């Protein structure tokens, strides 16, 4: 009778555990269901960018939609979740572009940067989470045919809502900000001192680039 | 009562286990199916990384505008684009690409720019029979772009439109369910285009070529 009772209890409870386990696999929240995240941050939305160079009037732009005209705002990143919702990772920035206008080629520019981030994800249900990240970005730009360029170190942060309607897929929506705390822009001209050749004369000025907006992106986690 | 309960619970356990086993092959079957077979909808983010050269060449042979980009998120009027496609059981895909951007300067004498592009596509997606994680996706269709450049202080504006034929062939790697990476060449062959500003108007053609990578999510 005792054996039958134990078996009866086991038989009654086991299906519940099997079902619960299956449901848990299906309904694990973001940051718990996968460790690796590939993120395309700020593909679109609204972005305000401004650039302030010492001795010059600040310039700025507002962008709405996708961001092909504000490429420094969109970021490709990789993040890894550790225990407890903590994430470490960052974004990589690289582009080289050259323009030819009416047969004139002013030269190309190369932009490189890294934006390490430490983050924390807070589940708010099975398919919604908050993902807060902070860190800094280092940006470096250079010109192909002169010594002109810039660099900047900018603290930044994002506060995304992550929607995960399907496994391995998510949508990120939320504000982002990055402010250039320190940076320099160097403008160079070639001075012809003698007929034999020229000498590059550069002037370095303080640079502060500022990015802020509401971004929409996608991610894949696995 | 106990005599009834034990067989009932045992039957429930067996049924649950059977259900789990039945579900497992179904999931395995889904995973065993490759790109173009396992889902009916594809959401894509394209031209995330790669090399792209674009040109706007006037029909009269004069100097045009061209730019070349390599790296992440190409600049220009046809940058990173979003795609949505439906997959038929035959592997034929029907859908399109979409891009929209608006930029305005914050200065007192600044210009604004609106760029819109739309590209309906018909394609064929599939996976290699012996390596279901490796797929392919060939597409063809027209691409239409509309660009408006204005100025906040004057009525002068420039309106541009261009139509071209787009050809794309992607290799698709799908390591896990619902997610994949696509990469491959793309070409735009200019058909027609026009730029008008005030009373002047000029015909031109848009062309591009490149090799780009992006992400796909299939559901």
pLDDT in tens, chain B (219 residues): 444 444 443 443 333 333 333 334 444 445 578 999 989 999 999 999 999 999 988 888 777 888 899 999 887 788 889 999 999 999 999 999 999 999 999 887 788 999 999 999 999 999 999 999 999 999 999 999 999 999 867 778 899 999 999 999 999 999 999 999 999 999 999 999 999 988 889 999 999 999 999 999 999
Number of A/B CB contacts below 8 angstroms equals 168
Average pLDDT of chain A is: 85
Asked if B20 has any chain A CB less than 8 Å from its own CB, the reply is: yes
Element holding B41 (H helix, E strand):
strand B41-58
Q: Is the dihedral of CA A27, A30, A31, A36 positive or negative?
A: positive
- Among B55, B64, B70, B72, pick the best mutation site for testing chain A contact (most A Cβ within 10 A): B72
On chain B, the residues whose CB falls within 8 A of the CB of A22 are 20, 23
CA B181 to chain centre: 12
Element holding A24 (H helix, E strand):
helix A2-27
Q: What is the pLDDT of residue A107?
A: 77
Asked if B111 has any chain A CB less than 8 Å from its own CB, the reply is: no
Q: What is the pLDDT of residue A5?
A: 52
DSSP-derived pairing of the beta strands A109-123 and A128-143: antiparallel
Q: What is the pLDDT of residue B22?
A: 39
Q: What is the pLDDT of residue B26?
A: 43
Task: Report whether pLDDT(A200) > 50.
Answer: yes
In eight-state DSSP terms, residue B184 is E
Residues 144-183 of B with CB under 8 A from A: 175-179
Using a 10 angstrom Cβ sphere, with 0-12 exposed, 13-18 middle and 19 or more buried, the burial of residue B36 is buried
Q: What is the pLDDT of residue B59?
A: 85
Q: What is the pLDDT of residue B216?
A: 96
Task: Report whether pLDDT(A13) > 80.
Answer: no
Gap from A193 CA to chain B (nearest CA, Å): 34
Between CA B132 and CA B35 the distance in angstroms is 7
- Are A77 and A218 in contact, with CB atoms under 8 Å apart? no
Q: What is the pLDDT of residue B153?
A: 72
SS3 of residue B15 by DSSP: helix
Using alpha carbons, select from B67, B125, B49 the residue that is nearest to residue A102.
B67
- Which residues are within 8 A (CB) of A48 and not within 5 positions of it... i.e. 6 or more apart? A60, A61, A62, A63, A210, A211, A212, A213, B106
User: Could you give the angle at the alpha carbon of B102 between the alpha carbons of B101 and B107, nearest 5°?
Assistant: 145
**8 Å CB contact of A103 and B104:** no
SS3 of residue A62 by DSSP: strand
**8 Å CB contact of A60 and B20:** no
Q: How many CB atoms lie within 10 A of CB B52?
A: 23
Q: Nearest 10 degrees: CA dihedral of B189, B191, B192, B195?
A: 0
Positions of E strands within A84-181 = 86-101, 109-123, 128-143, 149-166, 169-179
Q: What is the pLDDT of residue A70?
A: 76
Between CA A125 and CA B31 the distance in angstroms is 26
Between CA A86 and CA A172 the distance in angstroms is 17
Gap from B186 CA to chain A (nearest CA, Å): 18
- Mean pLDDT, to the nearest integer, of A111-134? 96
Between CA B51 and CA A61 the distance in angstroms is 26
What Rg, from alpha-carbon coordinates, does chain B have? 25
- Are B23 and A26 in contact, with CB atoms under 8 Å apart? no
- Which residues are within 8 A (CB) of A28 and not within 5 positions of it... i.e. 6 or more apart? A126
- Are B100 and A216 in contact, with CB atoms under 8 Å apart? no
CA B4 to chain centre: 59
Task: Report whether pLDDT(A26) > 60.
Answer: no
Q: Is B71 left (phi over 0), alpha (psi -120 to 50) or beta?
A: left
Between CA B104 and CA A64 the distance in angstroms is 9
Between CA B160 and CA B130 the distance in angstroms is 47
What Rg, from alpha-carbon coordinates, does chain A have? 25
């Amino acid at each position: 009778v005792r054996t039958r009772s134990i078996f009866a209890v086991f038989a009654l409870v086991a299906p519940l555990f099997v079902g619960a386990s299956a449901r848990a696999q299906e309904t694990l929240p973001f940051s718990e269901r996968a460790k690796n995240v590939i993120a395309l941050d700020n593909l679109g939305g609204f972005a305000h960018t401004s650039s302030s160079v010492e001795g010059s009037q600040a310039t700025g732009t507002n962008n709405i939609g996708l961001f092909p005209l504000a490429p420094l705002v969109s970021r490709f990143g990789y993040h890894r979740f550790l225990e407890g919702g903590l994430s470490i990772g960052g974004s990589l920035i690289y582009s080289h572009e050259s323009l030819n206008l009416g047969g004139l080629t002013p030269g190309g520019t190369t932009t490189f940067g890294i934006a390490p981030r430490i983050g924390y994800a807070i589940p708010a249900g099975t398919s919604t989470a908050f993902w807060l990240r902070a860190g800094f970005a280092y940006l470096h730009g250079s010109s192909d045919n002169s010594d002109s360029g810039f660099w900047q170190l900018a603290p930044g942060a994002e506060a995304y809502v992550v929607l995960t309607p399907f496994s391995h897929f998510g949508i990120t929506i939320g504000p982002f900000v990055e402010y250039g705390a320190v940076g320099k822009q160097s403008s160079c001209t070639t001075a012809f001192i003698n007929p034999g050749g020229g000498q590059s004369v550069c002037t370095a000025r303080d640079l502060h680039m500022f990015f802020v907006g509401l971004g929409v992106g996608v991610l894949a986690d696995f | 009562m106990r005599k009834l309960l034990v067989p009932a619970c045992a039957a429930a356990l067996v049924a649950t286990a059977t259900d789990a086993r039945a579900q497992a092959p179904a999931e395995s079957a889904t995973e065993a199916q490759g790109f173009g077979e396992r889902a009916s909808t594809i959401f894509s983010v394209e031209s995330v990384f790669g090399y792209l050269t674009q040109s706007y060449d006037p029909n009269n042979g004069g100097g045009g505008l061209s730019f070349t980009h390599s790296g992440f998120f190409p600049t220009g009027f046809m940058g990173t684009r979003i795609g949505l496609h439906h997959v038929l059981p035959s592997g034929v895909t029907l859908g399109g690409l979409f891009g929209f951007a608006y930029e305005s300067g914050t200065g007192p004498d600044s210009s604004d720019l609106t760029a819109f592009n739309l590209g309906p596509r018909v394609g064929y997606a599939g996976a290699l029979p012996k390596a279901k994680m490796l797929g392919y996706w060939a597409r063809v269709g027209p691409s239409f772009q509309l660009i408006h450049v204005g100025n906040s202080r004057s009525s002068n504006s420039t309106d541009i439109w261009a139509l071209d034929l787009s050809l794309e062939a992607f290799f698709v790697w799908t390591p896990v369910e619902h997610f994949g990476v696509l990469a491959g060449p793309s070409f735009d062959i200019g058909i027609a285009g026009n730029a008008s500003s005030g009373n002047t108007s000029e015909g031109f053609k848009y062309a591009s070529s490149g090799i780009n990578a992006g992400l796909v999510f299939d559901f």
